[in-house]
Amino acid sequence: MKPRLAGWLVNGALAGCAALALLPLLWMLSVSFMAPGSASALPPPLLPAHPTLDNYRALFAYHGMGRYLLNSLLVSSAIALLALTCNLMAGYAFAKLRFAGRERLFQALIGALVIPAQVAMLPLFLLLKYLGLVNSYASVIVPGMATIFGIYLVRQYARSVPDELLEAARIDGAGEWHIFAKIVLPLLKPIMVTLTIFTFLAAWNDFMWPLIVLTGQEHYTLPLALASLAREHSGDNELMMAGSVVTVLPVLLLFLALQRHYLQGLLMGSVKG
């Protein structure tokens, strides 16, 4: 095959795939600006005839979207921050601190990854119910405060911290907390960014667990609000698309801004030793 033709084929195929990947998202954006009811026409309009923000106004004024947006931000930020703290400390301990049974404990954690999270959900619900925490922000946040995946990521990364650096600090009489905060953390900055965006996105997009523990609308996160809206207003396509934009746009922008860090985490997490 002539290289010129091959080049056209490869790039053409990629353009086709990219179009398939992006088309639903672009259509969502376009329909969200259409006047209520105008998307239900034949042929289906591709662009709004008279672009309007009415759907967004309706979402925030009548459907409490502002509240859900804040709920999502609050819950996802809390999970990202708390999980970052727990995972950093544990990952560092597994990588750099010596204690009996270290490897075995770590292997046990990795082994536990085969257990689907849903197995724990039923008793977890009961536990939170007896603690009086069902239908609160805490019920969504608490189980996500540490993740095996996060611990694994930090451990892999922290292994590159030179032991001599830590030993030198210990000889100088620095305490362990001081070493962690002043020497180790600055070196772990890249993995901190990766882990934060990873956890934040996962928490933002999570559906099943919040659906189980959030029984009242006042604590709904965006995916829950959207799912319940979709069941009640299934005919209002323009409104639903605007709701999807509000839900998807924040994470999409976050990903675009920190793409390199996100993909690095994805690769580190998938190359299992």
Partner 1 sequence: MNPARTAWLFLTPALLVLGVFFVLPVIAALGLSLTDYDLYALANIHNLRFIGLHNYWDLLQRPLFWSALGHTFYFVIVGVPLSIGASLGTALLLNSPLTRMKAFFRTALFAPVVTTVVAVAVIWRYLFNTKYGLVNYALAEVGVHSIDWLGDPHWAMPTIIAFAVWKNFGYNMIIFMAGLQAIPPELYEAARIDGAAAPRQFWHITLPMLKPTMVMVMILTVAGYFQLFAEPYVMTEGGPLQSTVSVLYLMYEEGFKWWNLGTASAVAFMLFFIIFVVTMLLLRLSRNGDAA
| Stretch 142-181 residues interacting with partner 1 (CB under 8 A) | 142-143, 145-146, 148, 151, 175-176, 180
Binder among 97, 181, 185, 257 for partner 1 (CB under 8 A): 97
- Residue 49 Cβ, how far from partner 1 at the closest point, in Å? 15
- Residue 86 Cβ, how far from partner 1 at the closest point, in Å? 4
Q: Is 99 in the site for partner 1 (CB under 8 A)?
A: yes
Q: Is 18 in the site for partner 1 (CB under 8 A)?
A: yes
In one-letter notation, the amino acid at residue 67 is: R
Q: Is 257 in the site for partner 1 (CB under 8 A)?
A: no
Q: Is 80 in the site for partner 1 (CB under 8 A)?
A: no
Residues 190-229 that bind partner 1 (CB under 8 A): 201, 204-205, 207-208, 211-212, 222-224, 226-227
Binder among 68, 220, 247, 261 for partner 1 (CB under 8 A): 247
Q: Is 53 in the site for partner 1 (CB under 8 A)?
A: no
- Residue 248 Cβ, how far from partner 1 at the closest point, in Å? 5
Measured distance between the N- and C-terminal CA atoms of the chain, rounded to whole angstroms? 41
Residue the block writes with tokens 């190359």: 271
Q: Is 61 in the site for partner 1 (CB under 8 A)?
A: no
Sole window of 55-63, 73-81, 92-100, 155-163 interacting with partner 1 (rule: CB under 8 A): 92-100
- Spell out the SS3 assignment of 158-221: HCCCCHHHHHHHHHCCCCHHHHHHHHHHHHCHHHHHHHHHHHHHHHHHCCHHHHHHCCCHHHCC
Q: Is 251 in the site for partner 1 (CB under 8 A)?
A: yes
Identify whether the C-beta of residue 67 lies closer than 8 Å to the C-beta of residue 254: no
Sequence-ordered list of residues with C-beta below 8 angstroms from that of 119, at least 6 positions apart, any chain: none
Identify whether the C-beta of residue 161 lies closer than 8 Å to the C-beta of residue 96: yes
Nearer to partner 1, 171 or 256 (CB): 256
- Number of other CB atoms surrounding residue 38 within 10 Å: 15
Sequence-ordered list of residues with C-beta below 8 angstroms from that of 67, at least 6 positions apart, any chain: 218, 220
